[in-house]
Amino acid sequence: MTIACPTATDVKRANRRLYDAVADGYEVVDGRRNEALAQWIRGRLSRLADAHGCGRLLDLGSGSGVVTREGRGLFDQTIALDLSPAILAEAGDIADARVAADTDALPIADASVDVVTCFAVLHHLFDAAGLVREVARVLKPGGVFWSDHDMDLTFYNRFRWPLRVYRRLRAADVKYVRASTDIDAETYALAEFREDGVDGSRVMGQLRDARLRPEAKFHWFGLTGLTNSLFGERSSARGWAPLLSITAVRE
Ligand SMILES: C[S@@+](CC[C@H](N)C(=O)[O-])C[C@H]1O[C@@H](n2cnc3c(N)ncnc32)[C@H](O)[C@@H]1O
């Protein structure tokens, strides 16, 4: 059955179903979490902790913990939060606390977090408004939000044809559907709700409205070994690199 006009609830249900189903093998199915990416994340977290505080790290949509594992030793407390209870259970000892919750309603006290991260998550949301509202609430003044590794809409619009070929060859959708009988093509498509790009300008506007000061960068790091060696950690102009990276400081 195809849902003609999906709602936020449909998208959340699909995400929970997808990540519950691949909970015991997410990083293998995904195929992009590796040591180079982990080291890069650790470097970013280290700089954020130095500049904005090393008390508490909250990772939204933590999955199997690629961010919180790297936050160990950099922060006094790490919290992994995800919609999928199964992926948190399977992930084991990835953080000081594991919380099954929705980014739209964080069970976290006001102004209690130094660094909120969100890695490859924005494109799984129906809308980022709830997440932004909650991030603004839980961050301490001077704290920072860092979101990364979502496809930027401008890049998608410019390169949609080569991207379609690349995606056909990479066949991530086929891999997920094959990984579990609980996943079908529609569940995958709904979970990857903004697979064709996150509107970074809209998210930046939402962050500004919530009294954060956002900055966006666009880069290639972490896609493949080849793009890592070709582009390294260099930033590009909007539309010339696929990965949207946003940092936003709470006033
Ligand atoms: C592509 S995975 C990324 C996981 C991890 N951050 C990583 O990079 O390996 C997206 C994650 O976001 C979670 N997610 C999707 N929608 C969510 C929501 N509304 N609230 C909390 N987590 C959500 C999914 O369950 C999934 O674990």
Radius of gyration for the chain, computed over Cα atoms and rounded to the nearest angstrom: 17
Closest C-alpha among 143, 73, 75, 133 to residue 105: 133
CA gap 229, 210 in Å, rounded:
37
- Rounded to the nearest 5 degrees, what angle is found at the Cα of 8, between the Cα atoms of 3 and 14? 60
Decide if 83 contacts 15 (C-beta within 8 A).
yes
Q: What is the pLDDT of residue 1?
A: 55
Decide if 147 contacts 44 (C-beta within 8 A).
no
CA 82 to ligand 1 centroid distance, Å: 6
113 backbone dihedrals φ, ψ, rounded to 5°: -125, 135
Q: What is the pLDDT of residue 4?
A: 82
Closest C-alpha among 164, 50, 49 to residue 58: 49
* For ligand 1, mutation pick of 37, 68, 87, 124 (most atoms within 8 Å of CB): 124
Position 8: which residue type? A
Position 24: which residue type? D
Position 246: which residue type? I
Residue with CA closest to ligand 1 atom 20: 102
Q: What is the pLDDT of residue 209?
A: 98
Select 8-250's CATH number: 3.30.465.10, 3.30.910.20, 3.40.50.150, 3.90.550.10: 3.40.50.150
Q: What is the pLDDT of residue 3?
A: 76
Give Cα 145 to chain centroid, integer Å. Answer: 12
Residues with CB under 6 A from ligand 1: 12, 15, 19, 33, 61-63, 66, 82-84, 87, 102-103, 119-121, 124-125
> Relative to the CA of 149, which ligand 1 atom is closest?
8
> Relative to the CA of 87, which ligand 1 atom is closest?
27
Token pair 């160990």 is found at 72
CA gap 134, 106 in Å, rounded:
7
CA 60 to ligand 1 centroid distance, Å: 7
- Rounded to the nearest 5 degrees, what angle is found at the Cα of 126, between the Cα atoms of 158 and 180? 95
> Relative to the CA of 119, which ligand 1 atom is closest?
6
CA gap 242, 174 in Å, rounded:
22
Residue numbers of the chain with a pLDDT score lower than 70? 1-2
How far is residue 65 from each of residues 11, 104, 112, 144, 151, measured CA to CA in Å? 22, 20, 21, 19, 20
CA 83 to ligand 1 centroid distance, Å: 7
- Average pLDDT over the chain reads 96
CA gap 30, 172 in Å, rounded:
7
> What are the counts of helices (DSSP H) followed by strands (DSSP E) for the chain?
12, 7
* For ligand 1, mutation pick of 11, 33, 82, 108 (most atoms within 8 Å of CB): 82
CA gap 149, 113 in Å, rounded:
22
pLDDT tens digits, one per residue of 181-233: 999 999 999 999 999 999 999 999 999 999 999 999 999 999 999 999 999 99
CA gap 124, 179 in Å, rounded:
19
Residue with CA closest to ligand 1 atom 12: 61
Decide if 116 contacts 58 (C-beta within 8 A).
yes
* For ligand 1, mutation pick of 16, 17, 62, 121 (most atoms within 8 Å of CB): 121
Residue with CA closest to ligand 1 atom 24: 61
CA 12 to ligand 1 centroid distance, Å: 10
